[in-house]
A and B are shown apart, each in its own frame.
Chain A
Amino acid sequence: MKLLRELGDNLRSFVVTVGAVSLFFGRVLGQIPRAMLRPRFVIEQIFNAGALSLVIIMTCGLFVGMVLGLQGYDLLQRFGSEDALGTGAALALIKELGPVVTALLFAGRAGTALASEIGLMRATDQLAAMEMMAVDPIRRVVAPRFIGGVIAMPLLTVIFVSIGIFGVQLIGVQQLGVDAAAFWSQMRSSVGVDDVMEGVIKGCVFGVACSLVAVYEGYTAVPTAEGVGRATTRTVVTSAVLTLILDYMLTALML
């Protein structure tokens, strides 16, 4: 009985949260056209979100690619089809690992930075001060950061995938001796436009999800040091869970 009530409470608070996020999302979307009128701020934020995550995206891309090279080679040589390494690794990177790992890293680096920045602005009355100056913080602060994240994510995914494939090639071709011509030609012939589209769509959806979570958590943070800290933690956790759930749903839809 107690369990049931707890379940009910959780369900209710979940529904309330989803409602609040949707409302907030609507407000942000509504302000995007006006925010776009001042592209300088948006470009600044794309740069911010992108530059923040670029180094870790590149490092992780390289290592994920190299691991994929080792594991893929080990797997494929059991069937005597090492030449398929290029195709297999490219598909794995483009369709799954690229978007998902990029989103997780993005949430951990740029997402937390966004959430704590906006949360701190809330805690130090900066958002209230803007409202008092008749400036809508959703338009001036939240929307540019949201768009910045949404645009940066797919770009970061592309970078991650490119460096990942370079990493696979580094291990597979340079070190383990897979035939370079076969590696590239097989990859080119069997990776189709729809595979790339799947990756791009995932990157965009994760970008929207992770950016929205970050700005929402920051904007609604309890205005204390502790509240901002909690908002930052929640950003990572929620983004990660949401990314993986969305990944399953998108994969099921597009396969």
Chain B
Amino acid sequence: MIQPFSENVLSSRQQTQWIVELRDVHYSIGNREIFSGLTLTIPRGRITAIMGPSGTGKTTLLRLITGQIKPDSGQVLFDGIDVSNLSLRELYALRLRMGMLFQNGALLTDMTVFENVAFPLREHTKLPHSLIRHIVLTKLQAVGLRGAAQLMPAELSGGMARRVALARAMATDPDVLIYDEPFTGLDPISMGMIVRLVRQMNNALGITSIVVSHDVEELAALADMSFILAGGKVAAQGTFNELKGHDSQIVHQFMNGLADGPVAFHYPAPEYFEQLLA
């Protein structure tokens, strides 16, 4: 539907079965190393879950994949294209093929819900108003918020904002949808609805989904493939059943929500006792 750029970055190559490949990626913020040799591949046309304890860098991983940040070393390939070597123009062209759902929705606060969903269409296409209206209402209907079209983002609850953001991410019919924590703060009904929606889009349109979440239960029903990140690397990967049976302690701890185990609950800190005495 969208053809603003002519670069071949735009056309899906369908060469490999991997839509995203990370090869030996290192990334640090300041002195803190977030990734130390991260290697993972995300299959095309599937639903992939990225899990891991809070602060391991799941959001950072998404920012790497979408080219918002560049790795210190290593390669990030999106559909075979090295994301970190693109010019801004090429990067924007590539991003037309991705839809991203931010952790807090990130709706544009000076526009109505309707205008938010229409935003990418208005920016990138010259579609007539009636058609844009039709697309926007269809997408809003899919997330159950057609009735909220004229509300401002400030009038929405957190969960509603997330659903509008999902409608907006779907507006341009991207090849890949990336979700950062889509389930947190949703009631079970909307959660189930989003799970069904993600599944539907995957089945009907073959959209690749990358879902970051802590929600082990929801992901079990949803994901074809899962990764658990810990300590700057992939701690485990596989289907859900494979992970359930995984023998490493980290995976066991994470899948069962145990406080004790190799994953520290605490952010790195000096010895507690010493700090209290100091």
A interface residue numbers (CB < 8 A to B): 120-121, 124-126, 128-136, 140
Given that A133-B95, A140-B123 are known contacts, is A128 also in contact with B108, CB under 8 Å in the complex? Answer: no
| Interface-lining segment among B21-29, B97-105, B198-206, B225-233 | B97-105
Contacts of A136 in B (CB 8 A): 88, 92
B92 touches A129 (CB 8 A): no
A-B pairs under 8 A by CB, number: 55
B106 located at the interface, meaning its Cβ lies under 8 Å from any Cβ of chain A in the complex: yes
A125-B102, A140-B123 known; A132-B95 Cβ under 8 A: yes
A sample of 8 cross-chain residue pairs with beta-carbon separation below 8 angstroms, ordered by A number, consists of A126-B106, A126-B108, A126-B109, A129-B108, A131-B68, A132-B68, A133-B120, A133-B172
- Nearest-neighbour CB distance to chain A for B139, whole angstroms, equals 14
With A121-B108, A134-B93 given, name 15 new contacts (CB 8 A): A121-B109, A124-B104, A124-B109, A125-B103, A126-B109, A128-B106, A132-B66, A132-B95, A132-B98, A133-B123, A134-B123, A134-B124, A135-B120, A136-B88, A136-B92
Task: Note all chain B residues with C-beta closer than 8 A to A133.
Answer: 95, 119-120, 123, 168, 172
Per-residue CB contact flags for chain B residues 40-66 toward chain A (1 = under 8 Å, else 0) read: 000000000000000000000000001
For the complex, give the distance between the alpha carbons of A140 and B96 in Å: 16
Q: Is B207 an interface residue (CB 8 A)?
A: no
Given contacts A132-B95, A134-B92, whether A125 and B120 have CB atoms under 8 Å apart is no
Nearest first, the 5 closest Cβ-Cβ pairs linking A and B are A125-B106, A129-B106, A134-B92, A134-B95, A132-B100
B107 at the interface (CB under 8 A from A): yes
With both beta carbons as reference points, the residue of chain B lying nearest to A141 in the complex is identified as: B108
Judge whether A128 and B92 touch: CB under 8 Å.
Answer: no
Residues of A within 8 A of B120 (CB): 133-135
